[in-house]
């Protein structure tokens, strides 16, 4: 007789128990979200503090420079005068043969006044106090840059080599008068 087969007992597998219940998972997620929010708020507060500190430093520096006369050399004086953002205005008006000279000239004068270099062409306007010859040369270079960027290339070729601001403007006027002619209608339109 064959040997009886051993009895195999099939036991039910242990009940599958979830490792983390959904409620526990939601609680942990909420706790982590709160921690992230706190860290984010701390970072924002630190950045606000840094920005306020920087702002106070800039305002105190500006206030101290306005109160105390500057004893620094001329190169340091040039910094704010030439790099101030309010002076970096784009010049979109270009003098072309078809444009009215007086409108362009008015725009130019406004730019020169903004940059405080209109004393170069107007003898009634005093130059900045304590102006050195180097400062004046720098102002002339700035004036030339303004002119060159605001005129047609045809006009630019005709003023190459002229350094004096008054001579440059006189040459531009002369070129315009010669190109316009003496027609009264054209004179009325352009001047």
In a domain, 9, yes or no: no
Rounded mean pLDDT of 33-49?
Answer: 83
pLDDT greater at residue 90 or residue 4: 4
Q: Decide: 189 and 100 in contact? Cβ < 8 Å.
A: yes
- Name residue, tokens 């997620």: 29
* Three-state DSSP class for residue 96: coil
Tell me which of 36, 68, 100 is where a domain ends.
Answer: 68
Q: Report pLDDT for 84.
A: 46
Residue 185 has pLDDT above 80, yes or no: no
Residue 137 lies in a domain: yes
What pLDDT, on the 0 to 100 scale, is given for residue 63?
A: 61
Q: Are residues 130 and 51 in the same domain?
A: no
Residues 93 and 172 in one domain: yes
The answer to the question of residue 164 being in a domain is yes
Is there a single domain that holds both residue 54 and residue 139? no
Place 100 in a pLDDT band, splitting at 50, 70 and 90: confident
Residue 39 confidence (pLDDT): 86
Are 107 and 177 found together in one domain? yes
Q: What is the pTM of this model?
A: 0.50
- Domain membership flag for residue 3: no
Residue 13 lies in a domain: no
45 and 125 inside one domain: no
- Residue 123 falls inside a structural domain: yes
Q: 86 and 180: one domain?
A: yes
Contact 167, 175 (CB under 8 A): no
Q: Is the pLDDT of residue 165 over 90?
A: yes
pLDDT recorded at residue 50 = 80
Is the model's pLDDT at 79 over the cut of 80?
no
Is residue 45 included in any domain, yes or no?
A: yes
DSSP 173: H
Q: Please provide residue 151's backbone torsions phi and psi, each rounded to the nearest 5 degrees.
A: -130, 160
Q: Residue 91's domain spans which residues? A: 79-190
Same domain, 36 and 126: no
Instruction: Give every CB contact of residue 187 below 8 A, 6+ residues apart in sequence.
Output: 180
Residue 147 is classified by DSSP as: H
> In terms of domains, do 110 and 177 share one?
yes
Average pLDDT of every residue of the chain? 77
111 and 159 co-located in one domain: yes
Most confident of the ranges 14-28, 62-76, 107-121 = 107-121
Residue 95 has pLDDT above 70, yes or no: yes
Question: pLDDT > 70: what percent of the chain?
Answer: 65
In the chain, the number of structural domains is: 2
b/e 78-99 (16+ beta carbons within 10 angstroms → b) = eeebeeeeeeeeeeeeebeeee
At 72, the pLDDT band (50, 70, 90 cuts) reads: very low
Q: Say if 74 falls within a structural domain.
A: no
Predicted local distance difference test score (pLDDT) of residue 87: 46
Q: Are residues 43 and 106 in the same domain?
A: no
Q: Over the stretch 135-161, which tens digit does the pLDDT of each residue have?
A: 999 999 999 999 999 999 989 999 999
My answer on whether 95 and 64 are in the same domain is: no
Q: Are residues 60 and 143 in the same domain?
A: no
């Amino acid at each position: 007789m064959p040997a009886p087969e051993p009895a195999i007992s099939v036991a039910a597998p242990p009940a599958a128990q979830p490792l983390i219940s959904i409620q526990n998972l939601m609680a942990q997620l909420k706790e982590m979200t709160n921690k992230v929010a706190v860290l984010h708020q701390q970072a924002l507060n630190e950045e606000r503090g840094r920005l306020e500190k920087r702002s106070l430093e800039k305002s105190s520096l500006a206030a101290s420079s306005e109160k105390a006369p500057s004893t620094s050399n001329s190169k340091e004086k040039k910094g704010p005068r030439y790099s101030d953002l309010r002076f970096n205005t784009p010049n979109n008006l270009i003098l072309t043969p078809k444009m009215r000279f007086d409108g362009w000239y008015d725009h130019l004068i406004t730019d020169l006044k903004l940059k405080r270099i209109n004393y170069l062409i107007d003898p009634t306007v005093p130059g900045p106090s304590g102006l050195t010859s180097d400062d004046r040369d720098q102002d002339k270079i700035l004036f030339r840059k303004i002119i060159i960027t605001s005129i047609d290339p045809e006009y630019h070729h005709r003023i190459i080599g002229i350094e004096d601001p008054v001579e440059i403007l006189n040459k531009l006027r002369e070129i315009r008068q010669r190109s316009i002619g003496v027609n009264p209608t054209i004179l009325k339109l352009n001047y």
